[in-house]
A and B are shown apart, each in its own frame.
Chain A
Amino acid sequence: MLTIIHSATRRVPIWSVYLLLTVPSVYYFYLAATGMLSVEPIKALEHKLGEFGLQLIVFGLAITPLRRHLGLNLMRFRRAIGVMTYFYISVHLLVWLVLDVQVLSMVWQDIVKRPYITIGMLAFVAMTPLALSSNNYAVRKLGPLWRRLHKLVYGIAILGALHFIMLVKGFQLEPLVYMGLILLLLVLRLKLPKPTFFRPV
């Protein structure tokens, strides 16, 4: 089974992953512009883009545990997923800024006054160096620092889910499910120390 998946995925060119992951954003914009997303397309579009970004983060975080625990290797796609996460969160932010809030002075006010927006912005800012260093040149140039830098994504994912939890009204399950998934994927990374009971002294 795994070998079939591996030989199939090996033939998938990376550019097609970028292309494929662009499709939802174009589709959402099309729906929003034609009135098919909602009678209030601005919030709907903003939420769709943010949610897809969060789903990509979860998917990206799943790649290492999938390999370690199930032997499924999708490492080839990790960079594309990471870069496209940044794309979705950037567009999400732009829709919020340009279509939703509209007034630039209010954007800054919102960022400093509303904790869920502060947290969302923090996550976006932290993602920026990761997106910028998602190329072979940066990997070579940064060396071991690159790995440490990209561990930032763990915190970013938690901030992203927190941003979602904080913005809903009432007690809602969906954002908690994202947080749960993210925490689970992070826990699966922990290398538990080997039991020490029988170690000869």
Chain B
Amino acid sequence: MAHRWTPDLTDAHITPEADFLNRRQIMKGMAGIGLSGIGLALGATPSVAKTNEKLNSWDEITGYNNYYEFGTGKDDPAEHAHRLTTAPWSVTIDGLVDRPASYNLEDIMAKMTVEERIYRLRCVEAWSMVVPWNGFELADLLNMAGVQSGAKYVAFETVLRPDEMPGVSYPVLDWPYVEGLRLDEAMHPLTIMASGIYGKDIPKQNGAPLRLVVPWKYGFKSIKSVVRMTLTDREPPTSWNKANAREYGFYSNVNPKVDHPRWTQASERPIGGGLFAKRKPTRMFNGYESEVASLYKGMDLSKYF
């Protein structure tokens, strides 16, 4: 097991949403009925708050999404994602692993330790949220498959179902959506696979049933509805980089000093502030600098953006 990460954003003192107040009751209820669905969103680790950052509401998190397979509008995913079949679900883990296989989601979930992770989410479009994910460390899953010594990267792939995804009939991107991480990024304890939000099963518009969350990178790196992970020895192609390499690099770490060619990344607008919401400064690595800066020691981050 990877070493455990101590959260800097927790639920104890931050302004709670009504949904969130009810969360523990919901979870008790879920345990009682044998968990809704396959019971993906289980377990929470309450601890001491160190921040007053405000959690976004369930409606904000689940109603304002970028999931282009369901359309390019922010409300398209919430409107169309219900068509996605998420059960049964399996994730193929192959490439440079000891036990390549198509793993059943239930089998994965039975072996993983799900915990609550309250993370900042910074979109490349310069808006941000704070999301209480439920998930497990990706490192645990990769170790389950047995990472071979030659592996240097992980390539991820989103499900592609033209019958269920109205957006993929347009060539907005080269479908299926693919993403990638360097192995040390993938094995970092901050990197999780999320199966829930607010203690509930993760909604389809947010990437059900299982999605990546890498909180120090722009949101598009956190690939949704993952069906394949391939361990490789070379840097895998990533969708936005293929679409526009000048604007979207492989790393895409949140960095206020490296602008997107079309807009500034120095500041961001927190979602939920209404019509007069103030921008706030964007933090290096989205505020996770002390945890992840060492991964990029000696790298010119304006070149490897």
Asked if chains A and B come from one complex, the reply is: yes
B264 and A38 contacting across the interface, CB-CB below 8 Å: no
Complex: A35 Cα to B273 Cα, angstroms = 10
13 more A-B contacts (CB under 8 A) besides A39-B64, A110-B263, A172-B170? A33-B275, A39-B59, A39-B60, A39-B63, A40-B271, A42-B275, A45-B275, A103-B279, A106-B264, A114-B261, A169-B72, A169-B125, A170-B244
- Nearest-Cβ distance from residue B267 to partner chain A, whole angstroms: 8
**What is the total number of residues of chain B having a CB less than 8 Å from a CB of chain A?**
31
Chain A residues lying within 8 Å of B74, measured Cβ to Cβ, are: 38, 40, 44
A29 CB, nearest partner CB in chain B, Å = 8
Verify if A181 is at the interface (C-beta below 8 Å from B).
no
What's the nearest-Cβ distance from chain B to residue A109, in Å?
A: 8
Residues of B110-157 whose CB lies within 8 A of A = 125, 127
A3–B243 CA distance with the chains assembled, in angstroms? 51
Query: Is A102 close to B, CB under 8 A?
Result: yes
Interface size for A (C-beta < 8 A) is 29
Residues of B within 8 A of A (CB): 59-60, 63-64, 68, 72, 74-75, 125, 127, 170-173, 240, 243-244, 259, 261-264, 269, 271-272, 274-279
**Taking the nearest CB of chain B, how far is it from the CB of A99, in angstroms?**
7
B262 touches A42 (CB 8 A): no
Can you report 11 residue pairs joining A to B where beta carbons are below 8 Å apart? A33-B274, A39-B272, A40-B127, A42-B275, A45-B275, A114-B263, A170-B72, A170-B173, A171-B173, A172-B72, A172-B170
By secondary structure, the A interface counts as: helix
Please report the number of residue pairs spanning A and B whose Cβ atoms sit closer than 8 angstroms.
63
Chain B residues lying within 8 Å of A103, measured Cβ to Cβ, are 279
**Cβ-defined contact, A42 with B263, below 8 A:** no
Q: Which residues of B contact A42 (CB under 8 A)?
A: 269, 275, 277
Residues of A with C-beta under 8 A to B75:
38
In the complex, A109 Cα to B68 Cα: how many Å? 30
Q: Does A32 contact B (CB under 8 A)?
A: yes
Asked if A82 CB lies within 8 Å of chain B CBs, one says no
Instruction: Report, nearest first, the 5 A-B pairs whose CB atoms are least far apart.
Output: A170-B172, A39-B60, A39-B64, A41-B275, A32-B275
- Residues from chain B with a CB closer than 8 A to the CB of A109 are 264
A178 contacts B by Cβ under 8 Å: no
Contacts of B171 on A, CB cut-off 8 Å? 171
Given contacts A45-B275, A116-B262, are A38 and B170 in contact (CB under 8 A)? no
Min C-beta distance of A27 to chain B, whole Å: 14
What are the residues of chain B within 8 A of A102 when measuring CB–CB?
Answer: 278-279
CB distance from A33 to the nearest CB of B (A): 5
A40 contacts which of B264, B269, B276 (Cβ < 8 Å)? B269
- B272 nearest CB across to chain A (Å): 6
Contact A35 B274 (CB under 8 A): yes
Question: For residue A29, which residue of chain B has the nearest CB?
Answer: B275
Nearest Cβ distance between residue B259 and chain A, in whole angstroms?
8
Interface residue A26 (Cβ < 8 Å from any Cβ of B): no
Contacts of B68 in A (CB 8 A): 170
